[in-house]
Copies of this chain bind each other. A is one copy, B any other.
């Protein structure tokens, strides 16, 4: 309270020339609103108004403030802003860093979040870093809501998290927990893929499983249902797998070793499909002539000229948009019942599917 506050314009010397040339001027503390205000000759509050884009400043003043800020290199401090407003305007996203589909999603989430004026913080789930830790970090940074991409965690843990912050799960459903879910219509997607194969004349269709991966349970179930309904219950075959390239390659070797290669394979995701494709091709089995192959996700790799994988595209942009919207909506009205957004898949027919060579192989 005693005396005026001294701003850091170091006497009257222009802060541009000498100072800015030398590295790491962290000796000079980073400029604050106070500095901008002093330079323009207005109050701190008015600078705040300008930076929040709030009404209450004349266009001229606005321009002067912005220019002064630019000149001294001012940039609002997120921490202070968060603390003061008790709103961080940050969305936390947990992803698996090795997942190409997540990469696509993250990119789309950035775009969507920007539209609604939110910043995005990423936290990775990795071999050495569990969901709990990744989520903890986001929580500490006061994310207003969390978007979890394909979370593999317990209902209990999620129950705790959701007491502090809205959570959107992209993929897995958590019945009984107050979590919004955004997902692709897995059943419909699977049927699209199988209808396509069936339409080409395939009856001997094997499924390459995705283990505990997001969506695999639904895909597996839908496969079984479809086969049964077509009277192909005896042809049902589910190969173990886990959404990685190597599990696809293993599946190929297993089929080759057994000498019982089906006319078509429906893989639980693109990565395993590509692993399968690679291994089976090397063994001299031609795709699609000898075996048709359908993946799931439509990751960038699937589109490559030399892969041309027929697959079911998930609506990445749509999933991202729905996830961000769900988070924002729940922020606005926390007491809505949990909502599930189901997005339409789209079959993308490329080069790995064709009619079987002879009807009724096996």
Assess whether A20 is in contact with B163, with CB atoms less than 8 Å apart: yes
Assess whether A26 is in contact with B83, with CB atoms less than 8 Å apart: no
Assess whether B128 is in contact with A106, with CB atoms less than 8 Å apart: no
Assess whether B103 is in contact with A128, with CB atoms less than 8 Å apart: no
Assess whether B79 is in contact with A142, with CB atoms less than 8 Å apart: yes
Closest to A120 in B: B137
Assess whether A107 is in contact with B124, with CB atoms less than 8 Å apart: yes
Assess whether A83 is in contact with B79, with CB atoms less than 8 Å apart: yes
Q: Which of A63-71, A258-266, A274-282 contacts B (4 or more CB under 8 A)?
A: A274-282
B interface footprint on A322-344 (CB within 8 Å = 1, 0 otherwise): 00000000100011000000000
Task: Out of B29, B122, B164, name the residue touching A124 (CB < 8 Å).
Answer: B122
Assess whether B334 is in contact with A23, with CB atoms less than 8 Å apart: yes
Assess whether A164 is in contact with B30, with CB atoms less than 8 Å apart: yes
List B contacts of A98 (CB < 8 A).
100, 103, 300
Asked if A230 is at the interface of the complex by the 8 Å CB criterion, the answer is: no
Assess whether A97 is in contact with B106, with CB atoms less than 8 Å apart: yes
List B contacts of A330 (CB < 8 A).
24
Closest to A86 in B: B29
Q: Which of A3-11, A231-239, A304-312 contacts B (4 or more CB under 8 A)?
A: A304-312
Q: A83-B83, A124-B107 are in contact. Are A275 and B304 (CB under 8 A)?
A: yes
List B contacts of A275 (CB < 8 A).
304, 306
Asked if A190 is at the interface of the complex by the 8 Å CB criterion, the answer is: no
Minimum CB–CB distance for A140 against chain B, Å: 5
Which residues A4-33 have CB closer than 8 A to chain B? 20, 23-27, 29-30
Closest to A276 in B: B306
Q: Which of A42-50, A192-200, A218-226, A242-250 contacts B (4 or more CB under 8 A)?
A: A242-250
Assess whether B278 is in contact with A306, with CB atoms less than 8 Å apart: yes
Minimum CB–CB distance for A208 against chain B, Å: 14
Closest to A129 in B: B110
Asked if A141 is at the interface of the complex by the 8 Å CB criterion, the answer is: yes
Q: A75-B140, A306-B249 are in contact. Are A334 and B26 (CB under 8 A)?
A: yes
Task: Out of B77, B97, B301, name the residue touching A245 (CB < 8 Å).
Answer: B301
Task: Out of B27, B88, B128, B300, name the residue touching A110 (CB < 8 Å).
Answer: B128
Minimum CB–CB distance for A297 against chain B, Å: 14
List B contacts of A246 (CB < 8 A).
304-306
Asked if A217 is at the interface of the complex by the 8 Å CB criterion, the answer is: no
Asked if A178 is at the interface of the complex by the 8 Å CB criterion, the answer is: yes
List B contacts of A349 (CB < 8 A).
none
B interface footprint on A285-310 (CB within 8 Å = 1, 0 otherwise): 00000000000000011001111000
Which residues A70-122 have CB closer than 8 A to chain B? 73, 75-80, 82-83, 86, 88, 97-98, 100, 103, 106-107, 110-111, 119-122
Closest to A277 in B: B278
Closest to A109 in B: B124
Assess whether A137 is in contact with B119, with CB atoms less than 8 Å apart: yes
Provide 10 A-B residue pairs closer than 8 Å at the C-beta atoms, listed in order of the A residue. Answer: A24-B163, A25-B164, A26-B164, A26-B165, A77-B140, A83-B83, A107-B128, A246-B304, A278-B278, A278-B307
9 additional contacts (CB under 8 A) given A25-B163, A79-B79? A23-B334, A24-B335, A73-B163, A83-B83, A97-B107, A98-B100, A110-B124, A246-B306, A249-B304
